[in-house]
Amino acid sequence: MKIAFVGAGSVVFTQGLLADLFAFPELADVHVALHDVDPERLATAEGAARHIADVRGVKPVISGHLDRRAALADADFVVNIVQVGMDAATRTDFAVPARYGLRQTIGDTLGIGGIFRALRTFPVLRGIAEDMAELCPDAHLLNYTNPMAMNVLYLSRIAPRLKVTGLCHSVHWTMHDLSALVDVPFEEVSYLAAGVNHQAWVLRFERAGEDLYPLLDKAIARDPGLLRRVRVDMYRRLGHYPTETSEHSSEYVPWYLRHDSEIERLRLPVGAYLDTIEENAASYERTREALAAGRPLPVEGTLEYAPQIIHSIATGTPRTVYGNVPNHGLIDNLPADSVVEVPCLTDALGVQPTRVGPLPPQCAALNRAYVSVTDLVVRAATDGDPRHIRHAAMTDPATAATLPVERIWDLCDDLVRAHGDLLAPELRETLGH
């Protein structure tokens, strides 16, 4: 079995996935093909992979490739963790909007940051899809790259035969944290969540058939500090808990980042992802230096879905994971051609999404705003229409709450200029007002 990692130079994340993968005895002899365009990062990822295999006591085949096609050839699974433009492009996504007074916390899913992260990722995704169609047409593509919904929707439209599932840990860790809040062991909790990536909703939260939401209400009543979390504020008003952090959640609605008073009340860290960039860079340097000096690295599993899916398909072991997939009737009151996040059965037959039915109407209404932005960004790329970039920004709740329409178009022009060659040629046009 061959597993290709595209963007393996995201070393810290690659390490966690490999630690999980090598923990399965049945996967001890897999071929892990690592690809990155940065030779130093690729070498660091390869060294880390060999170290993790040694610690786990397994002997996989590990190969490093600057040529993506060599990594993909005859792969059974492709794990996509690319970040196009790396830290410099992400800093641009924050710095240019900040000059317009537009605030972001993470900027990787929706909003101006999510729009332009998608637009510079799509050309690479097209290349991956074309290579897979030729070199490994039956492989499963497991995508971790954000913006998740935009990327999976783009792939589903340009390569409808590709077996792609978008993976994110937000549902798992939300339920882990909610279990701690209500003081119920996570292993005893049953749950159902559905919606869109980073804005799904906890529809059921139970233990042995008992609804645990009343225990959450009591926990909030006991601790007024919880009221200063965006997610708790949204839960109290919408009746269902959202599945991403407060920092993320604040960016997908028009109510919070626009207002100084809400930033203070809810302790919102504007520009938080810039700190994460620094932390990731420091983690990478520690890994590189440790490998060069022959020092041991920590080998810790991350409970990510990709290794679980690979193991389930390889062995037939049934599991339920949360995946981002084309809707196709899974959620009744979201568009059929949108990408949704739902529970998926995974076994030897592959990834099989579960039909959820309709979401509560207030939750679906917010999700529809999200998927409208996603649809327009993808259409900008598939139609080669730069006007749709502006239409997406005009439709985005947080952007529209902050800027008048002329400033939105000006901002898009500035970001098109700033990202330059990372965008598809037909989308590099500036349009003015």
- C-alpha 13/C-alpha 169 separation (Å) is 12
Q: Is 51 a catalytic residue?
A: no
Output the CA angle 113-118-121, nearest 5 degrees. Answer: 125
Is residue 159 a contact partner of residue 125, using CB atoms and an 8 Å limit? no
- Quickly list DSSP for 36-88: -S-HHHHHHHHHHHHHHHHHHT---EEEEESSHHHHHTT-SEEEE---TTHHH
Greatest CA separation found in the chain? 61
Give the end-to-end CA distance of the chain in Å, rounded to a whole number. Answer: 53
**Nearest CA to 141 among 263, 277, 7?**
7
- C-alpha 33/C-alpha 68 separation (Å) is 10
> What is the Cα 31 distance to its own chain's centre?
25
Residue type, 235: Y
Residue 426 has, within 13 A of its CA and on its CB side, a CA count of 11
Residue type, 87: D
- C-alpha 207/C-alpha 189 separation (Å) is 5
Q: Which of 31, 140, 169, 248 is catalytic?
A: 169
3-state class percentages of the chain: helix first, strand second, coil last, to nearest 5: 55, 15, 30
The angle that helices 272-293 and 11-21 make with each other, rounded to 10 degrees, is 70
> What is the Cα 136 distance to its own chain's centre?
24
The 3-state secondary structure of 319-373, one letter per residue: EEEEEEEECCCCECCCCCCCEEEEEEEEECCEEEECCCECCCHHHHHHHHHHHHH
Looking only at the bridges linking them, the beta strands covering 319-326 and 163-167 are: antiparallel
Return left, alpha or beta for 239; rule: phi > 0 is left, psi -120 to 50 is alpha, else beta. left
Looking only at the bridges linking them, the beta strands covering 163-167 and 190-196 are: unpaired
Active site residues: 169
